[in-house]
Amino acid sequence: MYRSVYLAGPDVFYPNARALGDAKTSLCEAFGLKGRFPLDKELDLTGLTPFQAGLAIYRGNLKLMDQCDIVIANLTPFRGPGMDGGTAFELGYMQAQFKQLWGYSLDARSYQQRVVQPTAGVDENGLSVERFTMADNLMMIGAIEDSGGQFIARDGDCLSIDDHLQVLREVLQALTGQV
């Protein structure tokens, strides 16, 4: 029986989204897992307003997550120094169901290093920044740790399928115990 993995992240916004999703699901299969990429679902958005289409995608992703046992989330910074907001929701949704969370990033710097000057400790608005040397918000990294999963960060190009697959392979090896 396959364990099913929801592949969360901002990947659906990348110009190579379909190819990246196909490559990730194939790699999961090589490790004996059923990878589920958010673009896997068949949704007919014909005739829907943009708002209605957004709700249909949201509901489709919930159904897809409900079918999965594990989430592997791409926490690579997206449109700023932190992870994608939708991915944060997906991690929280899966954590609330006591499913195992795993994550990776193609930016090995800590959140604090991405946001502030090394000695300032505050952002450009004078607001303090977490100093926990974590890859992103402590709630996200804490949820991954407490679920029994792991987070792996390597420097790479977020648009490079090879870079994603290299770090995803490391996550899958840790998850399955395979080398």
Which alpha helices (DSSP H) does 49-160 contain, by range? 50-66, 85-96, 111-115, 138-146
Q: Does residue 112 have a pLDDT over 80?
A: yes
Give the chain's domain count. Answer: 1
**What residue numbers bound the domain in which 150 lies?**
3-36+67-176
Residue 148 CA to residue 154 CA, distance in Å, equals: 20
Task: Please answer whether residues 148 and 100 qualify as being in contact, where contact means their C-beta atoms are separated by less than 8 angstroms.
Answer: yes
Helix, strand, coil share of the chain (percent; to 5): 45, 15, 40
- At 129, the pLDDT band (50, 70, 90 cuts) reads confident
Answer whether residue 108 is part of any domain: yes
98, two tokens:
């006591």
Answer whether residue 96 is part of any domain: yes
CATH of the domain at 24: 3.40.50.450
Please, which contacts does 158-164 make with residues 24 or more away whose CB atoms are closer than 8 Å? 158/14, 158/76, 158/78, 158/106, 159/14, 159/15, 159/16, 161/16, 161/19, 161/20, 161/23, 163/106, 164/11, 164/20, 164/23, 164/24, 164/74, 164/106
Residue 64 CA to residue 41 CA, distance in Å, equals: 7
Task: Please answer whether residues 106 and 73 qualify as being in contact, where contact means their C-beta atoms are separated by less than 8 angstroms.
Answer: no
Answer whether residue 62 is part of any domain: no
Tell me the pLDDT tens digit for each residue of 25-78: 999 999 999 999 998 767 899 999 999 999 999 999 999 999 999 999 999 999
162, two tokens:
């090879």
- At 1, the pLDDT band (50, 70, 90 cuts) reads low
